[in-house]
Structure 1
Amino acid sequence: MRQTVIIKGNKYGLSVFLDPELPMEKLLSDIASKMRDSAKFFRGAKMAITFEGRTLTPEETNAVVNTICENSEIDISCVIDTDKAREAFFRRALDEKAEEEGNGQPAGSGQFYKGTLRSGQVLEAEGNIVMLGDVNPGARIVAKGNIIVLGALRGTAIAGLGGKKHAIVVALEMEPIQIRIGEVTARMAAKKTFPKGAQIAYLDFGKLRIEPLCKEVIDEVSFR
């Protein structure tokens, strides 16, 4: 019988191979069964997780993560992207040293958050922040460093709080109401649409730009 879900250890934590052809509803059922069978091996473990074999949309990623958490006692600290360029980019964003001298922030100071921000909710971080989930309209995510949303950004994002002009905002679905980086604020038109796929917002000579996240942009953006 073909195994549709295979769990292996790696240097980050766990690699989960997902059958590329199975309907998502059946795959989620198989994941739940697999995690229940393996629960005793991972009880209380805190680890990163990587998905292989299948390209997942942000919505599917959230569904898979939720299924794992609901059927095991694994504490997922983060989801590692298997795209090498994006993974290196995210690591650079999180591992950068704080720019302001004497602010007490060590290299690699970052916060991970899993969940959905709903209207009226605010998530704040002293350094960089990676969020697995969506930022809904009316919600705000605020950081003194960089913001990476592994989901949809439909609310407000404020990065580089305090004037840090080299901060960035990345989202897998970029549909913000407002973005602010450093002292520069851009409010999006109500009917403005962005291309599908991961996007990055950054300052270019004082002007806020939003572009697809690709190798060329990754090489161009400066981290200081």
Structure 2
Amino acid sequence: MIQQTVVIKSNKYGITLCLDKDIAFRDLLSQIAEKFKASAKFFGDAQMALSFEGRRLSESEQLEVVQTIQENTSLEILCIMEQDTLTEAYMKEVLEDRKKELSASDGKFYKGTLRSGQVLEAGSSIIILGDVNPGATVVSKGNVVVLGSLKGTIHAGAAGNEGAFVAALNMNPMQIRIADAIARAADDKPDKKSRKAKETSTGPMIAYTEDGNIYMEPITKEVINDIRI
């Protein structure tokens, strides 16, 4: 009997991905994409918790798995949980708490600080009323606005929207991704006005894409007038 490299175990509130520990990660992502694409109709647009079993993944690998699931289904992963807490009753409690934190309409608001290891997913633009700490990750199909300090990882326009933007009261991210464009803290690219998007950027800033690059500049009245919603 051939052992499957990816096994999906699910209940009403969450999914456990049982992953082969020996297969190359890129091959594993391909298998995950195939599995979820085939199961897309079964899951629909449910909001669920996610846990991993059989293989230890880094934060960046976990993010790539979440993005792969998102690209192949309409699922919304609200949180990633440790395997030893993954019981149906506990997942129900966590998901209900998370849904209360999000806007009752379509998940447009999140109140609180996102700490290292936390992953917040949104199927639309999201406003975070708090800080995004180093090691925390936000993935949104639309825009991301942080009414606090942004020091973690952000992926806006996750479904390929190159017109998405990221704004924060204090902009100092580890990584920003808008659609397929990526800028990291160590990047030091000039924008179209010859300013530099430095990792030490502070104050209200906005990040956007142009010609496949990410640029960052202070938020002004003129910039606000140019923002596409």
TM-score, structure 2 as length reference = 0.48
TM-score, structure 1 as length reference = 0.49
